[in-house]
C-alpha cells in the first residue's frame, strides 16, 4: 500500500481558526499526491464530501457517499478525499433536535470512515478540516483524526510576507 510506504495515516484532521491556511495545505497535498501518482504510473482520484453530497431523496445521500468512497478507494490508484469544515457540514448528535436526514448523513459517513462494507487498500487519504474541533461529534472526530494537525497560519507581518 502506498500510504504504508510513505507512512501517512489514513485520516488527518486539520484544525485552526478560519483563514489560517488549511485549504492551502490541502491544495499542496493534492499537488503532491498527483505527482506521486504520476511518478508511480497510477491514476489519481480526488473527491470532496460537501453539502452538495446531500440528496433530497431517501437513500440518495448514502448512494452519493458510497460512490465517492468507491472512487477514491480504487486499489489500482491513489485517492484523496477531502471534507472541509466538517463540523458545519455534519451535526453533533449531542446538539439535540436534529433532522433525520442530517443524522442519516452523519451515520452513513461514520460507517464508511469506520470501514463498514468496504475494503481498505492503503492507498486513500482522507483529510478533514474544522474551525471548531471541540464542537465536533466525538465519534466522528475519532474516525477522522488518526492524526490531528494544527494549522495556525501566519500571526505577524513578517510571517505574512514570507
Q: Which residue has the cell 442530517?
A: 102
Determine contact, residues 33/78, Cβ cutoff 8 Å: yes
Alpha helices in 51-156 (DSSP H): 60-72, 86-89, 100-114, 138-144
Quote the pLDDT of residue 104: 84
Closest to 16 (Cα-Cα) out of 143, 144, 135, 149: 149
* pTM beyond cutoff 0.85: no
Quote the pLDDT of residue 76: 86
Question: How far, in Å, CA of 50 to CA of 106, rounded?
Answer: 12
> 94 or 40: which carries more pLDDT confidence?
40
Quote the pLDDT of residue 124: 85
For 88, left (φ over 0), alpha (ψ -120 to 50), or beta? alpha
Closest to 127 (Cα-Cα) out of 53, 43, 26: 26
Quote the pLDDT of residue 45: 94
List pLDDT tens digits, range 44-83.
999 999 888 888 888 888 999 999 998 998 888 889 999 9
Quote the pLDDT of residue 118: 66
Question: How far, in Å, CA of 14 to CA of 18, rounded?
Answer: 11
Amino acid at each position: 500500500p502506498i500510504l504504508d510506504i510513505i507512512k501517512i495515516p489514513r485520516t488527518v484532521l486539520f484544525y485552526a481558526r478560519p483563514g489560517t491556511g488549511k485549504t492551502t495545505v490541502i491544495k499542496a497535498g493534492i499537488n503532491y499526491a498527483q505527482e506521486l501518482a504520476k511518478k508511480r504510473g497510477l491514476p489519481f482520484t480526488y473527491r470532496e464530501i460537501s453539502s452538495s453530497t446531500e440528496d433530497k431523496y431517501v437513500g440518495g445521500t448514502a448512494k452519493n457517499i458510497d460512490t465517492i468512497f468507491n472512487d477514491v478507494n480504487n486499489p489500482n490508484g491513489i485517492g484523496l478525499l477531502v471534507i472541509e469544515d466538517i463540523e458545519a457540514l455534519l451535526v453533533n448528535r449531542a446538539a439535540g433536535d436534529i433532522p433525520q436526514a442530517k443524522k442519516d448523513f452523519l451515520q452513513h459517513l461514520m460507517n464508511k470512515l469506520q470501514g463498514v462494507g468496504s475494503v481498505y487498500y492503503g492507498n486513500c487519504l482522507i483529510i478533514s478540516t474544522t474551525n471548531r474541533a471541540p464542537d465536533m461529534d466525538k465519534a466522528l472526530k475519532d474516525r477522522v483524526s488518526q492524526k490531528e494537525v494544527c494549522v495556525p497560519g501566519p500571526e505577524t507581518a513578517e510571517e505574512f510576507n514570507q
